[in-house]
Chains A and B, each alone.
Chain A
Amino acid sequence: MGRLGRLGRRPRGETGAGPGALPRAIAALSRALPGGPSPETFRRAKFDLPEAVAELWSLLFSLLWLIHQEDKVYPRGPPDDLEGRIRFVKWVLHCHGYGRRRFYQLPEIDSQGSCELLLAFSWLLAYLSLPEQFLFLRCVHQSDGVWISSCKDLARCPVPLALGPKGRVDIRYIQWLLGKLRFHWRSLYASQQEQCTLLNKIHLYTRGCHSDQSIGHLSVPETEILRFPESSKQLLQQLESENSRLEAFLEWKHMELVYWQWMDTVLDASPGGMPNTGKQDVFLPEILQYCSPKYVIREMNRVQKNLEALRERLQEVVNQQRAAWHIKVSKCSQRLLRPPELSTSKKKEIQEAVGYELTTLDQDCGAKNCPCGLQRLVFRKAKEPNNSGAQSVTKVIQLLKKEEASLEKTLRRLQEECQQELAVLAHGLEGVIWIPPPYPRR
């Protein structure tokens, strides 16, 4: 973990802020986060005072719990006891790749380690962009949305299987679970169909009602406000609190550097001196066990940025190589005889093979263009021109269908492999007749 100042990505220098700047910065941060800390707690933590420990554990727990609520990390609900909460915080930080060993060695009581906790908090602040996260999480939505995930790793939720007597799972139980899953799927499908029809009706009926011409129709929340005008008071309150959060966030952003400079001093002052000068303890970030689309999408964006940077560098290298190759080839070809003509059938074969490879490549790249995450739904009649740069749902459906087709292909291939394996096994058993199922069940 390098200098924390660098995490702020701004050059070190004068901020021109006075002595009261740090408490103001922390106060702004506190207003931008739910259940924010007080400047006094932070000061105590710098000096590793025990009074700050409980509050910092509590703060870390509540922030992490709120963020990962959608990920359904703990199926049973939040742990009430201090030990449980401490363990949860440690586990999540481990998954995110926080590498300070002293943190994990902290005992599960609330009397030690406030400085370590402060360091962990600041790391999270930068790594997860906490204020931005919470702005997004608690954002007031007045539009209709649909959640699109084309992530292949979506289905990673392990089901708690009841283990049988020998610690193994009964195959009949799994068959039953599959059946149950199928029924739940059918129910879900029916509900979603209904929701779509009703959304369509509302959008159609309210055409011409919206003040914004480019949208033109009301959304469901907006329609509800028209039906129940008293609820507009609640909306006003929500918007006002969102506004004050945004103001706090802006103030925090102005004063952020003060905080990071102060954190550098904390780092220097922390017990144990300079961190990890020798052997770096590497904790590999594990994907959280219960992966949710939002989490994966964040990671994907991160990875995508890195990939693009890598691609640019590669492109440079490729260009250089290509130029060198051209020179080489032109020198060689002057010396060589003309190569034999390829027969037309061979040419055709090569063309087809290359065409096939290109289309598969194209398909794989095409998935990148599919929008991910929460998307706003806006109604348009079929012939209207689309100026606002929005993606048409038909296109998105096409992309999703392509992905579905490729996933089904993979599934069938795996099923066939499985069947072949079973057939081989059954062949080895005496007196056993192997009858595979006749049709694939949907």
Chain B
Amino acid sequence: MSVVTVQLGQCGNQIGYEVFDAICRDLHSTQGFCSKKENEVYQASCKEHFFNEDKSEVPVARALLIDMEPKVISQTLLKAAHSGRWKYGQHSHFCQKQGSGNNWAYGYNVHGPKHEESIMNLIQREVEEYDSLSGFSIIMSMAGGTGSGLGAFLTQNLRDAYPNSFIMNQVIWPYGTGEVIVQNYNSVLTLSHLYRSSDALLVHENDVVHKICAKLMNIKQISFRDVNQVIAHQLGSVFQPTYSSEDSFQYRRNPLGGFKDPALYTSWLQPSDAFCEWRTHRAFNKYEKSAALVSNSQFLLKPLDTIVGKAWNMFASKAYVHQYTKFGIEEEDFLDSFTVLEQVVASYCNL
């Protein structure tokens, strides 16, 4: 079962590269404490999910790179090819020359419709190659213009084109003191739109990862590369082939299908339903033991509330709103987005 990864925008493409790199390294790393046979099964399973065997025997990542400027994509393609261990497909990218100016409306209302056909054709061609499609994993940031606006547009389109497929979005939560002034607008608009079309939003907070780099890994000068690598490691270990609970001799065929019960202890849900454990005999990336936790909890409440609050304050004073109305996002659309997110916040408060 194959996962199609769509890397969107600068952030999405850089992180996407790190994810495939981490998975590839894990593939080729020593088998640790598990048996040889076990290792082979693991490797085969992992490869099938994320890579395509090419005639040249260098695995090709099952990914599509999309950006509105050419620089990051060409860098990413080169880096992968240089590694010698894996590469991206020759025709698996789409880019333009203009950029999105960190404007969600530009990404959603201008780039989206303009390039809809080309991008969807690209995706369709990729999907047709596979025997089996497990689902889509879209990596994007919320704060910029391409990842956020185009990402929201694309997710909606994917949902319409593949109504029965699993769609998961990896959303990168910006730094609280980020550089983009309108990042809160972009975030609010992105989240409210994704909420309607996506099956799962997996959130990676830059602030939190930054702290991991500083305190746990003792990195002095933390670069985006470090942050990206930590996120990639987390994602890679979550996507590891795992045993399904019933049949402990076979790896779960569908890596995305397992994402059904996040850990959540609430009064109205039995812990056995709420907590789902997936095991594997082989630890990720040369660690002796590792554990990854995906949770759907009130942890997200504070950051979400903060962003919505800040965005609302800006909106109340109509700051920068004309940048959005210029490209067709009206005040009503903003209000709709706020409403949806307030509902989400309320639901989480009442867990």
Contacts and interface: CB of A to CB of B under 8 A. Distances in A.
A319 interface: no
A183 B260 contact: yes
Nearest to A442: B163
Interface string A170-189: 10110010011011111101
A190 interface: yes
Contacts of B131: 194, 197-198
B261 to A, nearest CB: 7
A435 interface: yes
Contact of B166 (A162, A170, A176, A183): A183
B336 interface: yes
A152 interface: no
A401 to B, nearest CB: 13
Contacts of A191: 132, 253-254
Contact of B351 (A172, A183, A435): A172
Given A189-B164, A190-B135, A190-B166, A172 B268 contact: yes
A435 B336 CA distance: 10
A170 B133 contact: no
A78 B324 CA distance: 64
Contacts of A184: 260
A186 B1 CA distance: 13
Given A172-B351, A180-B260, A183-B257, A193 B266 contact: no
Nearest to A173: B268
Interface in B255-280: 257, 259-261, 266-270
A228 interface: no
A187 B196 contact: no
Interface residues of B, number: 30
- A contact patch SS: helix
Contact of A176 (B135, B163, B199, B269): B269
Contacts of A173: 268-269
B211 to A, nearest CB: 31
A397 to B, nearest CB: 15
Contacts of A176: 268-269
Nearest to B163: A442
B268 A194 contact: no
A170 B351 CA distance: 11
Contact of B196 (A170, A190, A439): A439
Interface string B132-166: 11110000000000000000000000010001111
A381 interface: no
Nearest to B257: A187
B343 interface: yes
B339 A435 contact: yes
A21 B159 CA distance: 68
A273 interface: no
B269 A194 contact: no
B340 A194 contact: no
A431 interface: no
Contacts, number: 65
B346 to A, nearest CB: 11
Interface string B190-214: 0000001001000000000000000
A16 to B, nearest CB: 58
Contacts of A185: 164
A384 B132 CA distance: 28
A193 B268 contact: no
B338 to A, nearest CB: 11
B347 to A, nearest CB: 8
Given A172-B266, A173-B268, A186 B199 contact: yes
Contacts of A183: 166, 199, 257, 259-260
B164 A186 contact: yes
Contacts of A435: 339, 343
A438 B254 CA distance: 31
Interface string A388-400: 0000000000000
Nearest to A183: B260
Contacts of A186: 135, 164-166, 199, 257
B132 A187 contact: no
A189 B135 CA distance: 11
Interface in B178-237: 196, 199
A194 B132 contact: yes
Given A186-B135, A190-B132, A438 B336 contact: yes
Nearest to A174: B268
Interface string A411-424: 00000000000000
A441 interface: yes
A184 B350 CA distance: 25
B268 A190 contact: no
B270 A162 contact: yes
A438 B135 CA distance: 25
Interface of A: 162, 164, 170, 172-173, 176, 179-180, 182-187, 189-191, 193-194, 197-198, 435, 438-439, 441-442
* Top-3 shortest CB links A-B: A194-B132, A187-B257, A170-B268
24 contacts: A164-B268, A172-B350, A172-B351, A176-B269, A183-B166, A183-B199, A183-B259, A185-B164, A186-B135, A186-B165, A186-B166, A186-B257, A187-B257, A189-B164, A189-B165, A190-B132, A190-B134, A191-B254, A193-B133, A194-B1, A197-B132, A435-B339, A438-B336, A438-B340
